[in-house]
Amino acid sequence: MEACPLEIEHIPAIVDMRRYLAMTEGQFPQELETTFRNLENNFTPWAFSSETRADWAKDLDVPLMAQAKDVEYLFWVGCAGSFDDRYKKVSRSIVKILK
């Protein structure tokens, strides 16, 4: 935007136009409809509630970023590490190593 001699904020306008086109005229394979709906409603590609995202760490005494303001390490678990049973074990093991 600094390069525009008229100081027009063109990048946000382009992003907004792309977002509009994707939302109103987006075409994608039918198989992805459920995944997209889950992302929109649950913030996860699966139909799990986001309220249970941290359940994998209940007994590990892990502070959440919403609770701790000053942390030395941030471990981003993501959806698979929060909901998939196999990856929950990996997440728990990493926490134990970090402790």
How confident is the model over 86-96, as pLDDT tens digits?
999 999 999 99
Angle 39-64-80 from CA coordinates, rounded to 5°: 40
Q: What is the pLDDT of residue 88?
A: 96
- How far is it, in rounded angstroms, from Cα 78 to Cα 8? 37
For residues 77-91, give the mean pLDDT: 95
Percent of the chain whose predicted confidence (pLDDT) is above 90: 30
Q: What is the pLDDT of residue 56?
A: 94
**Tens-place pLDDT, residues 41-60:** 888 888 888 889 999 999 99
- Alpha helix locations (H) across 1-99? 10-25, 33-42, 78-83, 85-98
Q: What is the pLDDT of residue 83?
A: 94
B/e letters for 35-65, b = 16+ CB within 10 Å, e = fewer, are eeebeeebebbeebeeeebeebbeeeebeee
